[in-house]
């Protein structure tokens, strides 16, 4: 980790100067200074309507319709900026995608979804209800018989769900509850091979990268996926979302949902009804510049490799404390993978069960009362996943989630552990 300078990283985030420990990053990260500078620059200097011939509009159009998609495409490793869609949220991007695909969905088509964040499942469930399609669930199953809450998605549980009627397979690259990384390329290859063998005529794959994008490099070409989405506001940027749609799928499967007189059949703008937040699109171009600046190589893949390596220094002490035999006896159970390693990110969830259980909200209340540290309790929109856990937990109480990113420090983790010791021993 010689190439990873945490002091340099933190200098890009003015909010960190306060000393507050931001440990709810899966809900939204802090924003890099260069992103804010671009938003300010746009609003103060180029805040005009797009598409006009006068010079300021030409500059504004170039920033929003060219620079924005071009920089976002780098974060997907997309083949073209024409495969990029901006929207206000990932939920809305998925809803718009489902609308664009609706004409090609038949009754009895089958959609396979996960119980993870509802953004990637809800749009398909509603589309199925409109068109008479069938929903199947790829559910997380046990990793450790000694901890029923240690679960993950497994390919061997997915393949039996595939049939000749499979049309859409939608899953997460990383769980916002479990913290575990799904081997996306391996999953997609297995899905395509199995679907072909079973006679499925047309299968398209959607990957929710919201909880993955802050921690690992996305590579839609290597993955061979049709759709992928993440939210910039969880990747050190503004509150906007971006979606990749494969060019061939845009032409063959997606109907335009924009105004009828717009000629957008050859690019992803056909899934972008209404203009996105112009200043947010331009602001998002600062994310790539920030990520390239924090390692000497100035290479996105190497940046994310460095981030992944550094994050292990955050994951290891926290998991080590929570899985210690004394905590297990106390009733602490990790929800997700209990082991550190590159197969998980520093989003760590747990519950306290047994003879002397603790509500998740009551654990978080201790942190809130002390001040200076932000963590959270709940189901975090992964309602189905949390509700499926067995033995059952109170869905309204959910889990305690501590979600860290690469600007957090080991010292901050140790402060979190000290408060946990007061609560859990």
- Are 350 and 324 a contacting pair, CB within 8 Å? no
The answer to the question of residue 67 being in a domain is: yes
The answer to the question of residue 133 being in a domain is: yes
Please name the residue that has the structure tokens 């939204």. 28
Residues 54, 17, single domain; the answer is no
- Are 302 and 295 a contacting pair, CB within 8 Å? yes
The answer to the question of residue 309 being in a domain is: yes
Residues 94, 242, single domain; the answer is yes
Provide the β-strand partners of residue 350: 334, 400
Name which of 270, 215, 272 is nearest 247 in CA terms. 270
Cβ contacts of residue 17 below 8 Å, gap of 6+? Answer: none
Strands 166-172 and 110-114: parallel
pLDDT tens digits, one per residue of 343-387:
999 999 999 999 999 999 999 999 999 999 999 999 999 999 999
The answer to the question of residue 26 being in a domain is: yes
- Are 148 and 391 a contacting pair, CB within 8 Å? yes
At residue 236, the 3 state secondary structure works out as coil
> Within 13 Å of residue 233, how many CA atoms lie on the same side as its CB?
13
Q: Is 272 exposed, middle or buried (0-12, 13-18, 19+ CB in 10 A)?
A: buried
Cβ contacts of residue 164 below 8 Å, gap of 6+? Answer: 198, 199, 200, 201
* Domain CATH number, residue 230: 3.40.640.10
DSSP strands (E only) in 180-257: 204-208, 227-231, 241-245
* Domain CATH number, residue 319: 3.90.1150.10
Q: Which residues of 278-316 are buried (b: 16+ CB within 10 A; e: fewer)?
A: bbbbbbbbbbbebbeebbeeeebeebbbbbbebbebbbb
Name which of 34, 63, 33 is nearest 46 in CA terms. 63
Residues 272, 338, single domain; the answer is no
CA distances from 51 to 122, 227, 263, 277 (A): 35, 28, 14, 15
Distance in angstroms (rounded) separating the CA atoms of residues 304 and 216: 5
The answer to the question of residue 1 being in a domain is: no
Look up residue 334 and give its two tokens. Answer: 């990790």
Cβ contacts of residue 197 below 8 Å, gap of 6+? Answer: none
CA distances from 50 to 55, 60, 64 (A): 11, 6, 8
At residue 382, the 3 state secondary structure works out as coil
Residues 395, 281, single domain; the answer is no
Distance in angstroms (rounded) separating the CA atoms of residues 276 and 280: 8
The answer to the question of residue 149 being in a domain is: yes
Residues 76, 159, single domain; the answer is yes
> Within 13 Å of residue 385, how many CA atoms lie on the same side as its CB?
35
Residues 253, 303, single domain; the answer is no
pLDDT of residue 2: 57
157: containing domain:
43-290
Residues 282, 306, single domain; the answer is no
Q: Which of 274, 290, 306 is the last residue of a domain?
A: 290
**What's the CA dihedral at 365, 369, 375, 380 to 10 degrees?**
40
The helix or strand, by DSSP H or E, that contains position 169, with its residue range, turns out to be strand 166-172
Residues 17, 61, single domain; the answer is no
Residues 147, 276, single domain; the answer is yes
Residues 286, 303, single domain; the answer is no
Distance in angstroms (rounded) separating the CA atoms of residues 318 and 244: 34
Q: Is the bond leading into 218 cis (omega within 30 degrees of zero)?
A: no
Q: Which of 290, 324, 354 is the last residue of a domain?
A: 290
Provide the β-strand partners of residue 241: 87, 231
The answer to the question of residue 38 being in a domain is: no
Low-confidence ranges of the chain (pLDDT < 50): none
* Greatest C-alpha distance within the chain: 71
pLDDT of residue 67: 98
Residues 101, 137, single domain; the answer is yes
Count of structural domains, the chain: 2
Residues 320, 368, single domain; the answer is yes
- Are 327 and 343 a contacting pair, CB within 8 Å? no
Q: Which of 290, 308, 323 is the last residue of a domain?
A: 290
The answer to the question of residue 181 being in a domain is: yes
């Amino acid at each position: 980790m010689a190439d990873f300078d945490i002091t340099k990283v933190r200098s890009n985030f003015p909010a960190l100067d306060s000393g507050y420990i931001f440990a709810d990053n899966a809900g939204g990260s802090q924003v890099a200074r260069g992103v804010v500078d671009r938003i300010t620059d746009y609003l103060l200097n180029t805040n005009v309507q797009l598409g006009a011939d006068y010079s300021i509009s030409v500059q504004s159009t170039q920033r929003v319709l060219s620079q924005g998609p071009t920089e976002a495409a780098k974060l997907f490793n997309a083949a073209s900026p024409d495969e990029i869609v901006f929207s206000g949220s990932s939920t809305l991007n998925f809803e718009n995608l489902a609308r664009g695909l609706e004409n090609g969905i038949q009754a009895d088509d089958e959609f396979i979804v996960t119980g993870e964040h509802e953004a990637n499942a809800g749009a398909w469930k509603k589309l199925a209800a409109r068109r008479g399609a069938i929903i199947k669930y790829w559910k997380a199953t046990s990793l450790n018989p000694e901890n029923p809450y240690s679960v993950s998605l497994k390919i061997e549980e997915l393949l039996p769900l595939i049939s000749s009627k499979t049309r859409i397979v939608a899953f997460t690259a990383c769980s916002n509850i479990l913290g575990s990384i799904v081997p996306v390329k391996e999953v997609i290859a297995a899905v395509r091979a199995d679907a072909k063998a079973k006679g499925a005529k047309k299968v398209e794959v959607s990957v929710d990268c919201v909880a993955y994008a802050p921690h690992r490099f996305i590579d839609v070409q290597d993955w061979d996926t049709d759709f992928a989405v993440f939210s910039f506001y969880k990747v050190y940027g503004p509150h906007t979302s971006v979606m990749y749609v494969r060019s061939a799928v845009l032409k063959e499967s997606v109907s335009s949902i924009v105004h009828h007189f717009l000629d957008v059949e050859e690019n992803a703008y056909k899934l972008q009804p209404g203009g996105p937040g112009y200043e947010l699109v331009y602001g998002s171009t600062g994310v790539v510049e920030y990520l390239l600046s924090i390692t000497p190589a100035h290479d996105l893949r190497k940046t994310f490799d460095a981030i992944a390596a550094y994050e292990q220094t955050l994951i290891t002490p926290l998991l080590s404390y929570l899985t210690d035999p004394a905590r297990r006896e106390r009733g602490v159970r990790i929800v997700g993978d209990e082991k550190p390693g590159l197969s998980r990110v520093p989003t760590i969830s747990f519950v306290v069960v047994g003879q002397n259980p603790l509500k998740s909200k009551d654990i978080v209340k201790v942190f809130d009362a002390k001040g200076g540290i932000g963590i959270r309790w709940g189901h975090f929109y992964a309602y189905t996943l949390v509700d499926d856990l067995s033995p059952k937990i109170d869905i309204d109480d959910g889990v305690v989630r501590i979600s860290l990113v690469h600007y957090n420090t080991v010292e901050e983790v140790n402060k979190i552990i000290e408060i946990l010791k007061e609560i859990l021993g």
